[in-house]
Amino acid sequence: MSAAKEKTFMDLEPLICDSINMGDVLMSMLEEHFGSTPEKGHYIIPEAEGDRLFFVACVAMSMSKTARNAYYEALGWDAS
């Protein structure tokens, strides 16, 4: 592998780690709100928490797509 490609692959580390960390944040939030069976059979969370969950899920998805595209670009492949 050329030195230029090695640098490109090494540059992916922060993006990959950030994506994993965002996924971890999302899973923690999901476990907090949906990790046990609710007493009355319905999950109820405040609207603000629902908004936060949706936001974190969207950011996690965006970061994952960015990491995937950067990986394919580093390989010289089409990311689409």
CA-based torsion, 8, 71, 21, 48: positive or negative: positive
For residue 29, what pLDDT is reported? 95
Alpha carbon distances (Å) from 21 to 16, 37, 60, 66, 72: 9, 26, 9, 14, 21
**5-41 pLDDT, tens digit each:** 666 888 899 999 999 999 999 999 999 999 999 888 8
Q: Which H or E run includes 67?
A: helix 47-75
For residue 5, what pLDDT is reported? 62
CB 9 within 8 A of CB 74: yes
Predicted TM-score (pTM) of this structure:
0.78
For residue 58, what pLDDT is reported? 97
